[in-house]
Structures are given as structure tokens and as C-alpha cells.
Amino acid sequence: MRQNSHGNGDAGYRSPAACEPCHLIFGSFYRAARALDVEQSTLSRNIIRLERVIGVKLFNRSRSGVTTTIAGTHFIRSARPMVASADKIVSAMRAAGQGRAGVLKIGHNTSVSAGNLRASILAWQAINPDVDFESVEADRCPPSAPMAQI
């Protein structure tokens, strides 16, 4: 499997319409694939598969390069909002998977205002602004019973 620039074994997430700006900039699927860090054959197969699914040719291919058809230009323009939404979802899921987003819920049996707990929580929240923090203060006796409800 090809290594991507992030050093992991998958090719990484690439927006479905990412080839559109690349083909315009680079003029060919080969150079676009290199810019996207995918194999040219993979990019070409996926574009051909998409053209078959939607039943219309999106790109004109020639020895001199690649251009979009009228339908291809319309498709890409229409797909951009969906691609942007997909990119946001992927970013949010990656952040959640890495512990940089989501919810952190802790239970404690001491006051948040006492000791270093408040300062520790505020420092942690400053470093992790996309993680919602929830705190549950339990009775001091017995400590294990109320914490089990969290």
C-alpha cells in the first residue's frame, strides 16, 4: 500500500472533487494524481466509475491534457458544498478519535474551587477548546458508589 505524506499506510482522505482544481492547475490526471499523492490509475478509475454511475462524461481527455465538459463543470460546482461538508465531518471525526473534540466527563468528590482542581480543569480546557467538559461532583462517602453512576 502506498504511503502518504502523513506516513500512514492508507492514502489518506481526499475530497472526491479534489481532482478538479488539480487537473486545471496541472492539465493532466497524472500530475493531479501526483499532487494528491494517489496513483494515476486509481484516480482515473475512480473518475471513470463516477462518470458511469452518473451517466455523463465529466472530462475530455486528449494527448494534450484534460479539460472539463460542460456537465463536468456543473457537476463539480454542484458538488463543492457537499465536499466541504464531508471534509468538515472527516475533520471532526479525526479530532474526536484523537481526543481533541467530543466530551470529557469526570466525576470528583471534592469541590472544584478547592485545591488545584479548578486550575487544572481551566488549563486543560484552554489546551482543548473543542472538547466539551462535564463535571459531576459526588458525595464524599463512599466515593466509589456515586462515581459508578457516571
pLDDT score of 108: 78
* Cα torsion angle, 31, 34, 36, 41, sign: positive
The C-alpha torsion from 41 through 44 and 46 to 51, rounded to 10°, is -160
pLDDT score of 146: 53
pLDDT tens column, 97-136: 888 888 888 887 777 776 788 888 888 889 888 888 888 8
Helices (H), the chain: 19-26, 29-36, 40-54, 70-97, 117-127, 144-147
The answer to whether 106 and 120 are in contact (CB under 8 A) is no
Which residues belong to CATH 1.10.10.10 in the chain?
22-98
Residue type, 37: D
CA distances from 77 to 20, 55, 100 (A): 10, 17, 32
Residue type, 145: A
What are phi and psi for residue 126, nearest 5 degrees? -65, -35
pLDDT tens column, 26-76: 678 888 888 888 898 998 899 999 999 999 999 998 888 888 899 988 988
Model confidence band, residue 19 (pLDDT cutoffs 50, 70, 90): very low
What CATH number has the domain spanning 22-98? 1.10.10.10
Local structure of 7: helix, strand or coil: coil
The answer to whether 121 and 133 are in contact (CB under 8 A) is yes
